[in-house]
């Protein structure tokens, strides 16, 4: 009986041992499966982290590339607006509607993503990676790769103002950065991650001020009678010729009320001492002799004289036969009465008398050789004579008594286009009083004998000298008398302030991370 009992106990132990072994084996298998699953899960998580890090680092690099490169910003500014539905874009004439691949190669700027090695890692712009360690994997962060993942990036513009030539803060961009890991021959191993970043252009206004100076030559009124005597060519004062001044219109009301009265003495710059002389040429020493010229002598004045052209009217005038004897011309009313004659050629002491009122205008087509010119008693008229340019000697004043009104030189204005010089020049022959305003910018002038001249005389030249016993009394009231026009340069300066929007910064304003499928763009 005891033998049978022992065998039963041995069998029971064997059964128990088998059960334990089977249980332990099951537990080992289960533990192994759990370990392998957890390892696979950990490996997936690591790959996902690597993929996400590659995507976000490439996105950061692209944003920095946009922010820090002027040439890139210029391209972005001029980029056409496209649909945000990447990668499909709406139609546009711009070749840069969607960037082909911006940037062309991603710079390696994140050392934390470099492959591990025993040496120092260096990189160059454009993605070339080198390491002193032979164990490093240079392909990990080369162009188009991050963290052993391939990366691509594209930039499109989704909003802009109507004027793409300036930054105005309305520009919006989307940067699509995609990273991919795995083997494309094994689709189940491929994982893709995308970061979509919205970039907002922040602009500021820059003000610039432009100053423009413009010089324009325009006709302006000419005031040629600001001196007693003026000649384009230089001259000198000789003999007993003198100058001084007075003002016929003492209170400036347009009425001559003060006749000339020779002062007992002269003070430089004082009353009666503005008998100024001038020339665009050189003045001789006599012009500076203060005992002769009681006024300022101005050489090389560079003054512009009005052009004198003969332009008689074609109608509205009274024709007068050639004047060869005494003649009276009468002004009617307070307006202008116009006459026209072929010539004025006086003999001996013939007189041209001006009567009536208003302004009497006489056009002389030919020679003007006049004796006396007087105003009739009671007449308030003024006289203006225009003479044509003729050949030979065709202009002279042969006064023996009076030419004009000695109290008011402005009553007689003689304007001539005559251009005779040398032996054909104009002449003022000796007489008593000559009172007029003479403008003869093309003619020479010869003074003969002695007389008193009241008013202002402007000519081309005075035959090199003012000689004889002439006394020139400049009427200061004539300084404001204008005739014709001269071209003067008028300089104007304008300041324009322009405000131009300009780019201040490109700032990320939205960030989205998502997984994309194997065949997604």
Helix (H, G, I), strand (E, B) or coil at 309: coil
pLDDT tens, position by position, 211-238:
999 999 888 899 999 999 999 999 999 8
pLDDT in tens, 407-446: 999 999 999 999 999 999 998 887 678 999 999 999 999 8
- Indicate the SS3 state at residue 119: coil
**480-510 burial, b if ≥16 CB within 10 A, otherwise e?**
ebebbeeeeeeeeeeeeeeeebebeebebee
The reported pLDDT for the residue numbered 136 is: 39
Distance from C-alpha of 194 to C-alpha of 179, rounded to nearest angstrom? 6
Task: Place 88 in a pLDDT band, splitting at 50, 70 and 90.
Answer: low
Confidence (pLDDT) at 125: 32
Full-model pTM: 0.60
Query: What's the pLDDT tens digit per position in 268-299?
Result: 999 999 999 999 999 999 999 999 999 999 99
Averaged pLDDT, 353-373 = 96
Q: pLDDT tens-digit profile of 34-55? A: 566 676 677 777 778 888 888 8
* Residues contacting residue 216 through CB under 8 Å, at least 6 positions apart: 489, 490, 491, 492
Q: 1: pLDDT confidence band, cut at 50, 70 and 90? A: very low
Range picked from 119-128, 373-382, 488-497 for highest mean pLDDT: 373-382
**Which secondary-structure segment (H or E) carries 28?**
helix 2-68
Token couple for 71: 């040439």
Distance CA 138, CA 131 (A): 8
Weakest mean pLDDT among 90-104, 148-162, 248-262 = 90-104
- Continuous segment of H or E residues that includes residue 278: strand 277-279
Buried b (16+ CB within 10 A) or exposed e, 423-458: ebbbbbebbebbbbbbbbbbbbbbbeeebbbbbbbb
Q: 153-167, 180-194, 399-413, 491-505: which has the minimum mean pLDDT? A: 153-167
User: What secondary structure does DSSP assign to 5-23, as a single string?
Assistant: HHHHHHHHHHHHHHHHHHH
CB neighbours of 36 closer than 8 A, spacing ≥ 6? none
Asked if residue 506 has pLDDT above 80, the reply is yes
Query: What are the two backbone dihedrals, phi and then psi, of residue 9, each rounded to the nearest 5 degrees?
Result: -65, -35
Residue 357, both tokens: 């009122």
Determine the Cα–Cα distance for residues 299 and 293; give it in Å rounded to an integer: 14
- The reported pLDDT for the residue numbered 265 is 93
More confident residue, 376 or 112: 376
pLDDT band per the 50, 70, 90 thresholds, residue 112 = very low
Q: How far apart are CA 430 and CA 493, in angstroms?
A: 53
Average pLDDT over residues 477-481: 95
Q: What average pLDDT does this structure show over 447-463?
A: 90
Q: Please choose, from the candidates 120, 392, 76, 380, the residue with its C-alpha nearest in 3D space to the C-alpha of residue 254.
A: 380
Distance between CA atoms of 269 and 257, rounded to whole angstroms? 23
274/294 Cα distance (integer angstroms): 6
Residues 172-188: b if buried by 16+ CB within 10 A, e if exposed: bbbbbbbbbbbeeeeee
Centre a 10 Å sphere on the Cβ of residue 227 and count the other Cβ atoms it contains. Answer: 28
Look at 254 and 88; give whichever has higher pLDDT. 254
Which of 234, 266, 278, 218 has the alpha carbon at shortest distance from 479? 278
Residue 106's pLDDT band (cuts 50, 70, 90): very low
Reported as a pLDDT band with limits 50, 70 and 90, residue 143 is low
Nearest to 373 by CA among 284, 283, 433, 293: 433
pLDDT at 116: 38
- Lowest mean pLDDT, pick from 88-102, 150-164, 331-345, 472-486: 88-102
**What number is the average pLDDT over the span 88-114?**
39
Q: Is the dihedral of CA 293, 453, 467, 463 positive or negative?
A: positive
Stronger pLDDT, 244 or 123, i.e. the higher one = 244
Answer whether residue 146 shows pLDDT above 60.
yes
pLDDT at 55: 87
| Domain map (residue ranges) of the chain | 2-106+144-208+502-515, 221-488
The SS3 call for residue 443 is strand
* 314-326 pLDDT per residue, tens: 999 999 999 999 9
Helix, strand or coil for residue 371? coil
């Amino acid at each position: 009986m005891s033998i049978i009992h022992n065998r039963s106990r041995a069998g029971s132990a064997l059964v128990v041992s088998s059960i334990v072994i089977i249980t332990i084996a099951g537990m080992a298998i289960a533990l192994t499966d759990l370990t392998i699953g957890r390892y696979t899960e950990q490996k997936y998580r690591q790959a996902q982290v690597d993929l996400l890090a590659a995507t976000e680092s490439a996105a950061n690099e692209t944003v920095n590339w946009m922010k820090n490169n002027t040439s890139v910003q210029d391209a972005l500014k001029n980029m056409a607006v496209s649909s945000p539905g990447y990668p499909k874009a709406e139609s546009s004439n711009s070749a840069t509607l969607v960037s082909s691949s911006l940037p062309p190669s991603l710079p390696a700027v994140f050392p934390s993503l470099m492959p591990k090695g025993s040496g120092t890692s260096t990189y160059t712009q454009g993605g070339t990676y080198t390491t002193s360690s032979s164990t490093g994997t240079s392909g990990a962060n080369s162009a188009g790769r991050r963290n052993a993942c391939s990366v691509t990036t594209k930039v499109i513009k989704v909003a802009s103002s109507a004027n793409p030539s300036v930054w105005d803060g309305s520009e919006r961009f989307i940067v699509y950065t995609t990273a991919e890991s795995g083997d494309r021959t094994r689709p189940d191993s491929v994982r893709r991650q995308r970061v979509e970043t919205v970039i907002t252009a922040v602009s500021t206004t820059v003000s610039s001020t432009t100053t423009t100076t413009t010089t324009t030559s325009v006709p302006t009124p000419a005031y040629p009678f600001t001196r007693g005597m003026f000649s384009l060519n230089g001259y000198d004062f000789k003999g007993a010729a003198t100058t001084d001044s007075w003002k016929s219109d003492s209170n400036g009301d347009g009425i001559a009320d003060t006749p000339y009265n020779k002062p007992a003495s002269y003070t430089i710059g004082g009353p009666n001492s503005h008998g100024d002389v001038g020339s665009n040429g050189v003045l001789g020493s006599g012009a500076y002799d203060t005992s002769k010229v009681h006024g300022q002598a101005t050489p090389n004045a560079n003054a512009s004289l009005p052009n004198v052209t003969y332009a008689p009217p074609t109608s509205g005038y009274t024709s007068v036969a050639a004047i060869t004897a005494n003649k009276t011309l009468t002004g009617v009313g307070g307006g202008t009465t116009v006459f026209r004659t072929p010539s004025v050629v006086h003999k001996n002491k013939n007189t041209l008398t001006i009567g009536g009122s208003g302004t009497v205008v006489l056009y002389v087509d030919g020679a003007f050789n006049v004796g006396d010119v007087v105003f009739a008693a009671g007449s308030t008229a003024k006289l203006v004579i225009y003479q044509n340019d003729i050949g030979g000697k065709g202009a002279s004043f042969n006064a023996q008594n009076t030419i004009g009104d000695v109290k008011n030189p402005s009553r007689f204005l003689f304007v001539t286009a005559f251009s005779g010089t040398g032996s054909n020049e104009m002449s003022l022959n000796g007489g008593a009083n000559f009172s007029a305003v003479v403008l003869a910018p093309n003619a020479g002038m010869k003074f003969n004998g002695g007389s008193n001249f009241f008013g202002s005389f402007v000519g081309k030249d005075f035959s090199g000298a003012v000689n004889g016993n002439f006394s020139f009394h400049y009427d200061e009231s004539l300084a404001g008398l204008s005739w014709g026009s001269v071209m003067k340069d008028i300089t104007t300066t304008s300041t324009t302030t322009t405000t131009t929007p300009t780019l201040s910064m490109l700032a990320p304003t939205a960030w989205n991370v998502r997984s994309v499928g194997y065949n997604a763009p």
